[in-house]
Amino acid sequence: MDSIDREPETATFELLRLPLEIRRLVYYQYFFNGNNMCRISTAYQIPTRVVAENDAPVNRSRVKESSRIAIAQSLRSTVNAMPLLLCSSQIYDEVIDVLYRGVSFCFDDLNVLREFLDVRRDAGNEDLIRSIYFNWTSFVWLHHGQQSAVQQYLNEHWHPLCRRLDEMNSLTSFVVSIKLATKQTAKRTFERSNLYQLLTWPSSLNLSLENLEGKKT
């Protein structure tokens, strides 16, 4: 008898036959696997300049429009949600809620955070964002820098972002991780400083500062 070539059998699993509660657990495990931090970064190298203490404000020139577009187009995430989001409209509706409800979006660049919010606003799901973690890696300069330069930087970059976040009704957690310039700077002293008041404005924003122990010198 001649052998008959048969296609290998494939096992299928119909996800939508599971109860919604179980599907949500499956989505959560797929996305996070025990770690609900989603780091957002960009493959685009943002132009920067070295700023001396007596120089003009850090990032003195606003990010050019071409750079903003490049940042937005090159955003990347440590959570790969697209395979599930593109399955079907039903799965999309179920997945998007689990994704935004369970994740804390993590950034270490202010420009990336701003462009991420713009992209999410244009997609119509900015109001789903519940938690943001910002690791302010360049904060040490602010603590060392010239007061007028720091003030201008905060007015032009930080405060507009804070006002925007304050208007996001869905946002329940905004954590900013900073390290003070020196180990000798006590947390209590910093919290009494003018810079602390500038950072925590507006007071209605649910902002928490952490890692105030200072950088080892």
- Residue 111: the pLDDT is 86
Residue 147 has pLDDT above 50, yes or no: yes
Domain chopping of the chain, boundaries: 16-42+57-210
Cα separation, 32 vs 95, in Å, equals: 12
- Residue 187: the pLDDT is 73
Residues 33-60: what's their mean pLDDT? 60
Residue 50 has pLDDT above 50, yes or no: no
DSSP 50-119: ---TTSSPTT-SPPPHHHHHHHHHTEEESS--HHHHTT-HHHHHHHHHHHHHH-EEEES-HHHHHHHHHH
Contacts of 64 (CB under 8 A, 6+ apart): none
User: Cis link prior to 57 (omega < 30° from 0)?
Assistant: no
Q: What is the mean pLDDT of the chain?
A: 78
Bridge partners, 39 (sequence order): 106
pLDDT band of 175, cuts 50, 70, 90? very high
Q: Which residue has the higher pLDDT, 149 or 175?
A: 175
Cα separation, 94 vs 81, in Å, equals: 12
Residue 140 has pLDDT above 90, yes or no: no
pTM for this entry: 0.76
Strand, helix or coil for residue 207: strand
Residue type, 6: R
Q: Which residue has the higher pLDDT, 65 or 196?
A: 196
Contacts of 50 (CB under 8 A, 6+ apart): none
Q: What is the pLDDT of residues 60-117, one digit of tens each?
A: 345 555 566 666 667 888 888 888 888 888 999 999 989 998 899 999 888 889 889 9
Report whether 56 contacts 123 (CB < 8 A). no
Q: Which residue has the higher pLDDT, 204 or 181?
A: 204
With residue 142 as reference, give the H or E element that holds it. Answer: helix 139-144
- Residue 8: the pLDDT is 60
Residue 48 has pLDDT above 60, yes or no: no
Report whether 132 contacts 104 (CB < 8 A). yes
- Side-chain half-sphere of 78: how many Cα atoms within 13 Å? 14
Assigned token pair, 201: 């404005």
- Residue 209: the pLDDT is 87
Residue 58 has pLDDT above 50, yes or no: no
Q: What is the pLDDT of residues 183-193, one digit of tens each?
A: 656 677 777 77
